[in-house]
Amino acid sequence: MKRKHILLFLASNLLLYLGDVFASGLIALALIFQMNILFKRIPLTKASQIGAIKLYLLSIPVFFFLGAIHSFLFVYFHDSNWLFLIFAAFVAYGLFFLVNFFCFFAFEFLEKNNFQIMTTLQDAANDIQNKKRGLFIQTSYLFVLSLVPFINTEWKIIFSLMVYQLYSSRQYLKQVFGFSH
């Protein structure tokens, strides 16, 4: 990975956000899945890109549902409906777990399984028990980062994914930008 990849990734997401393009959140989400190939140091091949796109396509319904539930969090908060807010928060947290599973966790098994999606998802699901603490922490970060005010719901979710992706790759980013000691 080179600096230009990261800068292009950030600039593309900024332009998508500012341009208010139709389905810009889905385009930004596809960028996040493609960048995971580079961040996980998976060889950039046709098979790896197709594997990332398949994971992306499988996760789209989760993102639609998460966007709807996430919107209710703020509605219930403004209406002071605390019981429904708590229920919506639990559902949103569960959906963030699925987002974390598809967007980050499954990538750890993608190359090992020759980019076969069903085998990758099965291996990832089998490994949840071994990495439940890390998944809990990652999902919590995503949930908390998505509570940023002043941007629309789809971009709150994208923002949380981008920030977490960059944060979790901070050691690699230091090498790419030449900041390692």
Question: What residues in the chain have per-residue pLDDT under 50?
Answer: none
On whether residue 181 sits in a domain, the answer given is no
3-state secondary structure 107-151: HHHHCCCCCCHHHHHHHHHHHCHHHHHHHHHHHHHHHHHCCCCCC
Q: Is residue 123 part of a domain?
A: yes
Number of domains the chain is built from: 1
Provide the whole-model pTM: 0.88
Within-domain flag for 96: yes
In this structure, is residue 146 part of a structural domain? yes
pLDDT for position 180:
62
Tell me, what's the pLDDT at 1? 62
Q: Which domain holds residue 122?
A: 3-176
| Domain presence at residue 99 | yes
In a domain, 143, yes or no: yes
- At 178 the pLDDT is 80
Q: Does some domain include residue 150?
A: yes
H helices within 20-131, ranges in order?
24-39, 46-78, 82-100, 107-110, 117-127
Domain membership of residue 139 (yes or no) is yes
